[in-house]
Structure 1
Amino acid sequence: MPSGPLIVQSDRSVLLEVAHPAAEDARHDLAVFAELERAPEHMHSYRITRLGLWNARAAGHDAEDMIGTLERYAKFPIPQSVAIDIRETVGRYGRLVIERDGDDLVLRSTDAAVLTEISRAKRISPLLTGQRSSDSYTVAPWARGQLKQELVKLGWPAEDLAGFTPGTPHKISLDTADWNLRPYQDHAVDNFFTGGSGVVVLPCGAGKTLVGAGAMARAGTTTLILVTNTVSARQWRSELLRRTTLTEDEIGEYSGAVKEVKPVTIATYQILTAKRKGEYAHLGLLDAMDWGLIIYDEVHLLPAPVFKLTAELQARRRLGLTATLVREDGREGDVFSLIGPKRFDAPWKEIEAQGFISPASCYEVRVDLPQQERLEYAASADDERYRLAATAPAKLRVVRQLVDKHAGERILVIGQYLDQIEQLADALGAPSLTGSTPVDERERLYQAFRDGSITVLVVSKVANFSVDLPEATVAIQVSGSFGSRQEEAQRLGRLLRPKESGLPANFYTLVARDTVDQDFAQNRQRFLAEQGYSYEILDADALLVA
């Protein structure tokens, strides 16, 4: 009789017994194709979804691999219906293929019934310009991206083999005099080019920028890099100058402050989505060069308008970089269809075990609200309760205690609300950094934090993304974006870059007990539980006594 840590249920949910000796191995193998839904202390629950199965298939795993994982770790025989469902769902990927035939874009299938079904679908038939043969239709030249989106929604994801424009050749080499791509970074670049386009998932601090640089060197073409903000753009520029043979004359910045178009151009999402008189003002950038590669940094944050623009860029090779494919708006399907499927995914704990990111301890510190604040919270409208709980003044003394406990270390104090950030900065005598902080001042503060002249920095969510602060060893999350799992991943990621100091990383989340703050914290922690991190619950009063 099997005696593993998994219980596989007929509704495609999977329970993982956390205390089981094989739980870590099972979690690692299950994460290839299943998504963690809930992570209480003893039993985690996963869901096997269509998109998860298709992403796994695109990354090279077949149905028998996935069923084998379930059978290997299952406590009881897996339901026959689940095995059949996995085979049939995985079998849908690639039954439809988009190809080029001369100058024509063609949708082809060896399954006549499937081809007939989709060709008559209301949202797909306008994208097809005619039947070429019994097994193929011609696709409107502009419709490649939209067709893939609609096919995913119908449950028939197409494999895109139509190829890519090579772009204007531009020689780019890695300057590896004193460094080399790590094995997993090399593997990620290989997988990307094998698949053509898609997403590489790596933890913050694991060198996603270097994967981008490796892809650029392999492609040897003009490259457009899209990033979250100007600080990130300048960090990309600095890293490319340090790690490749590119010179300053070859790298342009296209942002609110500067408008340069060069063989390698780094642009912000904000500038691409900026409108003037109701029209996108900078769309010319997409055609300003014959781009052979487009890199989407932090692809899980792609703004909705960029999806629409990306639908028209399917002839360009596209690389998405992210620490998590989770999107709070549920548009993972659009990432899959428009950027491409997941090509590489390295579990955080695996890279930590190899010594490439720092080990981290995660703590949830539960804070009791004083009676008067409890009454105010109870009497408030639903839409006011999270702010009241997240900004509870009782959290301030806990922050002070934690800052004292880690005196001398580099500490980030992270908040969601501007008045709370200002209050924390005043109380700690520390500088604050928010969305309204000018870019030059942000860079000055980040550099002062890196060199140790500032050891405590109070930041808003602007520090969630693409900010390189390798010596940060402590993060104190006082408030966040409701239940955002992607934000939790980004914030822990600020601590995971290996430290010259050798100090371990400590991640604290302050939570008002018995409030929606606590409910949201459980959702945020799901992502980290999926990566193998566990939270230790601390009581704030006990912490203060200690």
Structure 2
Amino acid sequence: MSDLPLILQSDLTVVLETAHPRFEEMRDRLLPFAELVKSPEHLHTYRVTPVSVWNAAATGRTAKEVLAFLRENSRYGVPANFESEVRGWFERTGLFVLAADGARLALQCRRPRLLRQLLHDPELKSLVSDLDLDGGVAWLERGQRGLLKQRLVKLGYPVEDRAGYLEGSALPLRLRECSLQGKVFGLRPYQVDAVAAFYQNGSEQGGSGVVVLPCGGGKTMVGMGAMAAVGMHTLVLTPNTVALRQWRSELLDKTSLSAEQIGEYSGDLKQIRPVTLSTYQILTYRRSKEEDFVHFSLFSKGNWGLIIYDEVHLLPAPVFRATAELQARRRLGLTATLVREDGKEDEVFSLIGPKRYDAPWKDLERRGFIAPVQCTEVRVGLDEERKIQYLAASRRQQFRIAAENPEKARALRALLARHQGERILIIGQYLSQLQSLYQELGYPLITGRMPTPERERLYQAFRDGKEPVLLISKVGNFAIDLPDANVAVQISGTFGSRQEEAQRLGRILRPKSDGGGASFYSLVTEGSADQDYAEKRQRFLTEQGYAYSILPAEAILEEQAA
């Protein structure tokens, strides 16, 4: 028993030793139903939560399967409360089923007494109109569909939504077998599986949910596959205009859609066409905090049969509220990570839908669909003057001082020398830091203030090899298609943002034309808040199987000197 790999604790956490010979196997088997919360060097701690269990159930896993795995591999057994909580969360799936009933919806509870108890909640009670408490049925207006699911999840009960969908306007669409660029095209096997898991042959059991694939894993292709399966007018929401234009380019290159069938609804254009591409930015625009969101009418201006939320983990809170009213439309979320720094994973679950498909990053790497990456944390010291400033500062100021440590520039120059001739992205959080590096190094700097055409010109120059190195602000976190980038250097980040770390690594994950790997460096100030937050940022990638080697900056500087 003493050599079993897992230690289960009564607070619903699971501890796994990284040195255990079965570490990788255990990590991959925990991933579908548990979340990594701590990842120091020797011990990784996972937590099982209601949403992690409900997502596991949505992908076909059962309490019997999960608990058997835990019993077989727990060094000291399974605490009684751990087993009862996990079993209870699995049992709650399917207790509430929502179905169409004429002009209204009927919420059926398999335990009428439970429904009676929950209706003591004033907010839940306000959402239903008629009741049959003996039969465990509550009726509600169709417009309350999203709010009801939200409230029940907050009360600890997921809803199986079988109320069906409105049929949007028809849009015949097929995927090309040869792209306009002359390349053979077809969905990869896992992309076909992802589309099937979402669409469920058009039944009411599918049509809403989230597909989780690594950056470079072809989430846009899955979106196009879903559009072809649904065959209706589609609204695609993206993080920014650059991502919007990339969607347009891919749709024209790989589907039968014509340019006239694709509209752009952005700050520049207000086109509504059978396929309309928009951004979260334009949807959440309003003249003042007291006024309405002027572009929310886009949701009702088209007869949409499908709404795609690209990078759904970035979905702003106001769009959640609008989505609560769109439950009769098919909804597909695409993301590399369900991690949200605001903790609203339950909102994604209740309003977009459960996780329908998840491909482990390392599995796709082994199959050659994404590039292998070597991750390195480079630890840089502070000079004496800044050490004094650091010690006298508040915690927030300490992070800024450490993140903008000028000594990082020396380590960066050494890394540039190490990777001379390769395609390199230097990504940072602070404009002052990036502008200083721009003045020192002379490489192009891309920020959010740069006009989109100029940004796209520089990205194209990078693709063509005319600009081998780019400095990029946080606009580079998402939706930049630079397949030949094989080195990324992160000089500063957003505190402990796990999704940002994953997205930045994703900039170099696309398979390389020469079949080679990639390198990801994170420059952190040793013994500081910067290092503490770096550990938090790395958790999601650690969960996916990426190990960071630790390298003192002096080692790189000595290498350069030699």
TM bracket (short chain): over 0.9
- Deviation for aligned residue 1:93: 1.3
SS at match of 1:538: strand
Residue 541 of structure 1 corresponds to: 554
Matched, 1:147 2:160: no
SS in 1 for 2:129: strand
CA shift, 1:79, in A, is 2.3
Following superposition, the deviation at residue 13 of structure 1 comes to 0.7
Provide Cα deviations, 1:51-80, integer angstroms capped at 9, x if missing partner: 100111111111112112212332332223
Structure 2 partner of 1:200: 211
Aligned residue number for residue 532 of structure 1: 545
SS in 2 for 1:335: helix
Within 5 Å, which residues of 2 pair with 1:137-536?
137-177=138-178, 178-194=184-200, 195-276=206-287, 278-536=291-549
> Secondary structure of the equivalent of 2:541?
helix
Q: CA deviation at 1:338?
A: 0.5
Contact 1:30 1:69 in 2 (8 A): no
Does the Cα contact within 8 Å between 2:113 and 2:136 map onto a contact in 1?
no
Cα deviation 1:19-53 (Å, max 9, x = unaligned): 22221111111110000011111211100111100
* Contact 1:200–1:342, Cα closer than 8 Å, also in 2: yes
CA distance in 2, matches of 1:86, 1:42: 26
Q: Look up the match of 1:35.
A: 35
TM-score computed with the length of structure 2 as normaliser: 0.95
Number of residues paired by the alignment?
A: 546
Partner of 2:76: 76
Secondary structure in structure 2 of the residue aligned to 1:333: helix
Gaps in structure 1 of 5+ consecutive residues: none
TM-score under structure 1 length normalisation: 0.98
CA contact (8 A) 1:119 1:128 kept: no
Per mean C-alpha deviation after superposition, the further-off stretch among 279-288 and 413-422 is 279-288
State how far apart, in whole Å, the 2-side matches of 1:83 and 1:442 are: 53
1:2 CA displacement: 7.2
**Alpha-carbon separation, structure 1, partners of 2:264 and 2:72:** 51
How far apart are the structure 1 equivalents of 2:177 and 2:62? 36
What is the rounded CA distance, in whole Å, between the counterparts of 2:79 and 2:192 in structure 1?
39
Q: Give the Cα separation in 2 of the matches to 1:471 and 1:411.
A: 9
Distance, in Å, in 2 between the alignment partners of 1:322 and 1:498 is 19
* Cα shift readout 1:227-253 (whole Å, capped 9, x = no counterpart): 000000000010111111111011111
Between the aligned partners of 2:389 and 2:120, the Cα distance in structure 1 is 58
Tell me, yes or no, if the aligned pair for 1:17 and 1:44 is still in contact at 8 Å: yes
- Percent of residue pairs identical: 53
Distance 1:456 1:237 in 2: 26
Paired letter, 1:83: E
Distance 1:229 1:340 in 2: 23
State the Cα deviation string for residues 420-470 of structure 1 (Å, max 9, x = none).
111111222100000101000110011111111000100000010111111
Residue 140 of structure 1 deviates from its aligned partner by 2.4
Q: What letter is aligned with 1:226?
A: L
Gaps of 5+ in 2: 179-183, 201-205
Partner of 1:279, secondary structure, is coil
Greater than 4 Å deviation, 4+ residue runs:
none
Contact 2:96 2:109 in 1 (8 A): yes
Corresponding position of 2:181: none
RMSD of equivalent CA atoms: 1.2
Q: Which amino acid aligns with 1:135?
A: G
Letter in 2 for 1:245: S
